[in-house]
């Protein structure tokens, strides 16, 4: 969805022509898998951070057009709403000081972003759901003026036959409402972790990413409130699923945990894209089939919580990445890089296991774990390996953190780096203080003052200290 298109209106002929190009490119990709055409190189990691622009009252500030023009950075691009931006990190080979290099680059970009935001009497916020956002903010007047977003809105409503989107989230309180456009999606911001994988081990990494989705959501939860209602620990999960809801079953949902593990290769996801998901953006492009332009655009309109991506190296060789999309933005840069460290290490260790962990945790349990963790955070009870059941905090501390350490060592990350970044995760899990838990504690002490909560959160975020240490 980061790719701009030339028009938001399409004819029936556009859909037919796009579908045919998608079919040709999918067949070509299948041949590449069989021929072993994918680049083989060392593991690399990266990220995308979706952030909020907020005003002096910690309310959404819809100034991203002028702001991005002034900022003039290739690493920072528009998002769906005029009060959101996306900050990208440079891919890093996962060895040595890779994690600190990610943190240092993000800190430098974040600092410059905030300095420029000051020119607009604004600042940046990284949080899964901004406590002060209201339904009135999520309107088409606040949509970034790009054709791809206009087209997305039109096509989602077309597939819904004009019916408004329904939000129904039962948490500690109940939120039920209707919304007439896809701008609800802009209330949910994330920290998306990218991991370059080989074609041979791609399915194993994909399955490991699904298994890790529940613990990642639990330890990273940072979205307990929406429109003043106390809902899930990571309310961003049901909000995003419902904000672009098309399709009546798990087979056709655009935001989905999926229906099974991958059996043989990541090609299975792209076959499903062709067979099960109607085209939303039939933008025809004058690109050779070998660029997979239509396949990649279509894949960008299917928001799996763990999404396989196709890219190209500088020499033109295709490569594969897993985009792990389950973690929210924030609370701080150290917290997010620690989340990435946990994912990179634990995924590697799971893939290295002689007995694949997907044989030890049925898909249905991995999926149920994910939603249980989104609801209850570190207090969730989940299924572990081989039928074990217990608190997700104990599973993280006793099993997954040691695996993450083992995996980071296998990648060649410096031991001092491993201690620093996984130490942040351990302290957060032992204390139970995620971003969501801290927000709830603040409200218990001060009352449901969403502006006060946002301002207190931003003050602590500016300190740069991990959330487990916040008072």
For 385-407, the pLDDT digits (tens) are 999 999 999 999 999 999 999 99
Its domain, for residue 364, covers 12-469
Q: How many CB atoms lie within 10 A of CB 120?
A: 15
Of 436, 451, 471, the closest CA to residue 224 belongs to 436
180 lies in some domain: yes
Mean pLDDT computed over 99-125: 98
pLDDT at 311: 94
Cα-Cα-Cα-Cα dihedral of 106, 112, 116, 122, to 10°? Answer: 50
6 lies in some domain: no
Contact 281, 297 (CB under 8 A): yes
67-71, 154-158, 177-181: least confidently modelled range: 154-158
3 lies in some domain: no
pLDDT at 5: 62
Contact 336, 327 (CB under 8 A): yes
152 or 268: which carries more pLDDT confidence? 268
Query: Total domain count for the chain?
Result: 1
> Which pLDDT band, with edges at 50, 70 and 90, does 71 fall under?
very high
pLDDT at 249: 62
pLDDT at 281 over 80: yes
> 279 to each of 16, 136, 152, 159, 182, how far by Cα in Å?
10, 30, 11, 10, 17
pLDDT at 253: 84
* Measured distance CA(206)–CA(211) in Å, rounded: 9
Locate all alpha helices (DSSP H) within 255-321, ordered by sequence: 267-276, 293-299
Q: Which helix (H) or strand (E) is 455 found in, with range?
A: helix 450-463
**Mean of pLDDT over the chain:** 95
Q: What does pTM read for this prediction?
A: 0.96
Contact 378, 219 (CB under 8 A): yes
Length of the chain: 471
156 lies in some domain: yes
Q: Which residues pair with 389 in a beta bridge?
A: 383
Of 370, 391, 269, 372, the closest CA to residue 327 belongs to 370
5 lies in some domain: no
Question: How far is C-alpha 326 from the geometric centre of its chain's CA atoms?
Answer: 5
Cα-Cα-Cα-Cα dihedral of 369, 373, 375, 376, to 10°? Answer: 120
Mean pLDDT computed over 8-32: 94
Beta strands at 92-93 and 123-125: parallel, antiparallel or unpaired: unpaired
* Measured distance CA(164)–CA(248) in Å, rounded: 15
315 or 23: which carries more pLDDT confidence? 23
The per-residue pLDDT for range 114-146, each reduced to its tens digit, is 999 999 999 999 999 999 999 999 999 999 999
430 lies in some domain: yes
pLDDT at 207: 98
- The residues, ordered by sequence, that sit 6+ positions from 378 with a Cβ below 8 Å of its Cβ are 218, 219, 221, 391, 392, 393, 396, 429, 432, 434, 437
* Measured distance CA(408)–CA(417) in Å, rounded: 9
Mean pLDDT computed over 352-362: 97
* Measured distance CA(316)–CA(333) in Å, rounded: 33
Mean pLDDT computed over 86-92: 97
> 406 to each of 221, 309, 402, how far by Cα in Å?
24, 26, 6
Angle, helix 202-220 to helix 333-352, in steps of 10 degrees: 140
- Burial class of residue 409, CB neighbours in 10 A (0-12, 13-18, 19+): middle
Of 273, 342, 339, 360, the closest CA to residue 310 belongs to 273
User: DSSP secondary-structure letter at 163?
Assistant: P
Q: How many CB atoms lie within 10 A of CB 354?
A: 4
* Measured distance CA(331)–CA(343) in Å, rounded: 17
Cα-Cα-Cα-Cα dihedral of 169, 187, 335, 115, to 10°? Answer: -160
Domain CATH number, residue 37? 3.30.590.20
The per-residue pLDDT for range 187-234, each reduced to its tens digit, is 999 999 999 999 999 999 999 999 999 999 999 999 999 999 999 999
384 lies in some domain: yes
116 lies in some domain: yes
> 134 to each of 129, 314, 327, 374, how far by Cα in Å?
11, 43, 22, 22
Question: How far is C-alpha 129 from the geometric centre of its chain's CA atoms?
Answer: 13
């Amino acid at each position: 969805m980061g790719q701009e298109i030339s028009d938001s209106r399409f004819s029936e002929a556009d859909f037919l022509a796009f579908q045919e190009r998608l079919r040709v490119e999918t067949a070509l990709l299948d041949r590449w898998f069989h021929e072993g055409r994918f680049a083989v190189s060392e593991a690399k990691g990266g990220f995308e951070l979706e952030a909020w622009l907020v005003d002096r009252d910690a309310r959404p500030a819809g100034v991203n057009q002028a702001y991005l023009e002034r900022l003039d950075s290739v690493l920072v691009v528009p998002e769906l709403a005029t009060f959101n931006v996306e900050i990208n990190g440079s891919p890093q080979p996962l060895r040595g000081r890779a994690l600190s290099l990610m943190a240092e680059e993000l800190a430098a970009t974040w600092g410059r972003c905030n300095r420029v935001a000051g020119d607009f009497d604004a600042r940046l916020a990284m949080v899964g759901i901004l406590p002060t956002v209201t339904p009135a903010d999520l309107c088409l007047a606040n949509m970034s003026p790009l054709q791809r977003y206009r087209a997305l809105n039109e096509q989602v409503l077309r597939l819904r036959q004009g019916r408004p989107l329904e939000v129904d989230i039962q948490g500690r309180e109940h939120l039920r409402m209707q919304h007439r456009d896809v701008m609800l999606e802009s209330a949910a911001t994330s920290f998306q972790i990218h991991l370059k994988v080989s074609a041979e081990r791609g399915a194993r990494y994909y399955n490991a990413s699904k298994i890790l989705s529940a613990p990642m959501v639990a330890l990273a939860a940072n979205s307990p409130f929406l429109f003043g209602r106390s809902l899930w620990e990571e309310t961003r999960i049901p909000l995003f699923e419902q904000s672009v809801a098309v399709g009546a079953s798990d087979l056709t949902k655009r935001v989905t945990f999926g229906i099974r593990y991958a059996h043989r290769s990541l090609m299975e996801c792209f076959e499903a894209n062709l067979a099960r998901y109607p085209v939303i953006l039939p933008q025809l492009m004058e690109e050779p089939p070998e660029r997979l332009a239509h396949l990649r655009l279509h894949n960008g309109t299917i928001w799996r919580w763990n999404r396989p991506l196709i890219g190209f190296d500088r020499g033109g060789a295709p490569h594969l990445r897993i985009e792990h999309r389950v973690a929210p933005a924030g609370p701080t840069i150290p917290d997010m890089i620690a989340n990435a460290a946990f994912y990179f290490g634990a995924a590697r260790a799971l893939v290295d296991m002689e007995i694949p962990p997907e044989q030890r945790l049925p898909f249905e349990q991995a999926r149920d774990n994910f939603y249980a963790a989104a609801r209850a955070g570190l207090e969730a009870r989940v299924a572990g390996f081989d039928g074990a059941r217990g608190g997700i905090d104990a599973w993280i501390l006793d099993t997954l953190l040691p695996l993450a350490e083992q995996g980071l060592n296998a990648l060649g990350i410096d031991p001092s780096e491993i201690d620093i970044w996984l130490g942040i995760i351990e302290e957060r899990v032992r204390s139970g203080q995620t971003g969501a838990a801290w927000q709830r504690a603040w409200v218990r002490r001060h009352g449901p003052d969403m502006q006060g909560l946002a301002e207190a959160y931003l003050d602590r975020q500016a300190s740069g200290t991990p959330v487990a240490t916040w008072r």
